[in-house]
Amino acid sequence: MYDDEIGFNPDDAEAWVTRGLPLEAEGRYEEALECYDRALKINPSNAQTWNNKGETLYYLERYEEALNYYDRALEIKPYDAKTCYNKGWALYYLNRYAEARKAFEKAAQLGLTEARQALEVLKNEGH
């Protein structure tokens, strides 16, 4: 009933993403993942949704799984700085520092300031 009141359309991928984002922000990660799954079933070509699901898996410390979603997002949109950056952090926490550096470098080349800071972290830690 609530969905009818707010005009939620279960056949609209963007509606599922819009529902998932606040759940993710509230730390309700499993519920957010369900929303992103529903969105991806409807529209599997949305790179941002693949990235969003990767971020949520990252927050759950499921880094290897997150990488799969970041990679899929980058297949669709290869020059997405934020996805490259997110991928870098997942690789970092998997101790795959050389790959993390490459991801951060790409994100920095694409103009993401935070990526330069991540590169400094790697440098300062001797990676």
Identify the CATH number of the domain in which residue 50 sits: 1.25.40.10
Which is more confidently placed, 11 or 91?
A: 91
Matching residue, tokens 């990488």: 67
Mean pLDDT of 86-106: 98
Q: Which residue range is the domain that position 72 belongs to?
A: 2-124
pLDDT of residue 115: 97
Across the chain, mean pLDDT equals 94
Q: What is the CA radius of gyration of the chain?
A: 16
Mean pLDDT of 14-26: 96
Rounded Cα distance between 26 and 106, Å, is: 30
Burial track 48-86 (b if 16+ CB lie within 10 A, e otherwise)? bbbbbbbbbbbeeebbebbbebbebbbebeeebbbbbbb
**Torsion of Cα atoms, 2 then 9 then 33 then 110, to 10°:** -130
Question: How many independent structural domains does the chain possess?
Answer: 1
Band of residue 7 on the pLDDT scale cut at 50, 70, 90: low
Q: Which is higher by pLDDT, 4 or 84?
A: 84
DSSP 8-state class, residue 77: -
For range 65-87, the mean pLDDT? 98
Cα→Cα distances 70→84, 94, 120, Å: 8, 14, 22
Q: Is the pLDDT of residue 125 over 70?
A: yes
Q: Is the pTM of this model over 0.75?
A: yes
Q: In one letter, which amino acid is 108?
A: A
Q: What is the pLDDT of residue 5?
A: 39
Residues whose CB is less than 8 angstroms from the CB of residue 117 and which lie 6 or more positions away in sequence, other chains included = none
